[in-house]
Amino acid sequence: MIVNPVLSKEIPLPAVRIGASGVAPAKTILFGEHAVVYGEPGIAIPLWEIQTSARLLPFPTDDTAQEFRIVSESAELDAAFSDLSESNPLKKLIRLIQEAFSIPVLPDCILEIQSAIPIASGLGSGAAASVAIIRAFAAAYGLELSDEKTSELAFEIEKCYHGMPSGLDNTTISFGKPLFFRKGKGFEPIHLPDRLRLIVADSGLKSVTSEVVADVRASYHQFAPVIREIGQLVRKARTALENGDLFATGALMNENHRLLQKMTVSNEKLDDLAAVALQNGAIGAKLTGAGRGGNLLALAETAPDTLRIHNALEKAGARIIR
Ligand code: MEV
């Protein structure tokens, strides 16, 4: 029971289903990262092969503390909610969920987060964790939550991770489909060629999105023409993708990478991996996400090409994500 401050009387706590869970995919940006922050379009797709899940679990019987806690092996976290600092994005998210779902008191359980999405690698690990947790709480309290509302809540937490996010990550991850997105203007689903052989290769270098975004912002005046060029390129890429024109798509990926280099968000490792992919038959290659680390995206025409590019990227030190 809790005391309703308005009625000054005890009311029952909302029923909660322990064991409820939520999932969310990773995402990769095909075209337009960084420029999307300044109102240019971006194209991104969910990566359902790698996911984050969140579950509300009962306390273990030997747990004497019996306090709501968050456990995540991938994030190396095992902490009581009360011990987390107020600036912790997970704590902010839980508080936001409590407010949005009218949950006055946290449930008696453990929130377990499991993620196969590498952290700080441009694949939307932060947004995926937010979406999975929001969905787990919605399921636990029997709430039907639209993808739009889920995205809206996750966007609030994206501000902690990115500073000034475009909203592309949380939108792609919440709606779980390929989309053409414009900040503040929503998105249109886009149709991708049936066999889009995309290789996602992790450079192993971590990068902090908010720092890279802040650096670009600091040089915005210098980069403004490049940002507009990327915007034009993304519009062409949409046509190429919707026409199923793989070669045009690949050429635009290469051009997008070149423009991101101009914005100083690539680095030697990503440039080397792009060169390896192209030398081994990729039709196009570019960094994906904030850059200065994280993942490379390469496009292959055939299954044997895909295998050759995989092997070559692995030999060059990358970890194949897909
Ligand atoms: C990060 O995944 C993508 C950026 O464009 C930032 C954003 O869109 O908020 C670099």
Q: Are residues 93 and 175 in the same domain?
A: yes
Q: Are residues 175 and 237 in the same domain?
A: no
Tokens representing 307?
């295998």
Question: Which H or E element spans position 126?
Answer: helix 125-140
Phi–psi pair at 70, nearest 5 degrees = -115, 130
Question: Which of 161, 166, 183, 223 to mutate to test ligand 1, by most ligand atoms within 8 A of the CB atom?
Answer: 166
Tell me how crowded residue 211 is: count the other CB atoms within 10 A of its CB.
12
Q: What is the 8-class DSSP label of residue 82? A: G
Q: Where are the beta strands (DSSP E) in 146-227?
A: 179-182, 186-189, 197-202
Ligand 1, atom 9: closest residue by C-alpha: 165
Q: Is 0.75 topped by the overall pTM?
A: yes
Q: Are residues 128 and 8 in the same domain?
A: yes
Residue that finishes a domain, picked among 142, 164, 188: 188
Enumerate the β-bridge partners of residue 111. 56, 70
Q: Are residues 313 and 184 in the same domain?
A: no
pLDDT at position 8 is 59
Tell me how crowded residue 69 is: count the other CB atoms within 10 A of its CB.
22
pLDDT at position 75 is 87
Counting from 1 in the atom list of ligand 1, the atom nearest the Cα of 213 is 10
Domain containing residue 23: CATH number: 3.30.230.10
Q: Are residues 156 and 217 in the same domain?
A: no
Q: Are residues 214 and 310 in the same domain?
A: yes
Counting from 1 in the atom list of ligand 1, the atom nearest the Cα of 158 is 9
Residues with CB under 6 A from ligand 1: 33-34, 36-37, 122, 162, 165-166, 168-169, 209, 213, 289-290
Q: Are residues 170 and 49 in the same domain?
A: yes
Residue that finishes a domain, picked among 140, 160, 188: 188
pLDDT at position 66 is 81
Q: Are residues 300 and 208 in the same domain?
A: yes
Quote the CA–CA distance of 118 and 164 in Å, as a whole number: 22
Do 151 and 165 contact (CB within 8 A), yes or no? Answer: no
Instruction: Print the domain residue range for 43.
Output: 2-188
Ligand 1 centroid distance, CA of 86 (Å): 24
Quote the CA–CA distance of 217 and 311 in Å, as a whole number: 37
Quote the CA–CA distance of 205 and 221 in Å, as a whole number: 28
Quote the CA–CA distance of 32 and 234 in Å, as a whole number: 6
What residues in the chain have per-residue pLDDT under 70?
1-13, 63-65
Tens digit of pLDDT for each residue in 49-89? 999 999 999 988 776 668 899 999 988 999 999 999 999 99
pLDDT at position 4 is 54
Question: Which H or E element spans position 28?
Answer: strand 21-31
Residue that finishes a domain, picked among 159, 188, 217: 188
Q: Are residues 101 and 169 in the same domain?
A: yes
Domain containing residue 228: CATH number: 3.30.70.890
Counting from 1 in the atom list of ligand 1, the atom nearest the Cα of 124 is 2
Phi–psi pair at 189, nearest 5 degrees = -65, 145
Number of domain units in the chain: 2
Q: Are residues 96 and 232 in the same domain?
A: no
Q: Are residues 160 and 40 in the same domain?
A: yes
Quote the CA–CA distance of 208 and 135 in Å, as a whole number: 26
Q: Are residues 88 and 217 in the same domain?
A: no
Tens digit of pLDDT for each residue in 152-165? 999 999 998 777 89
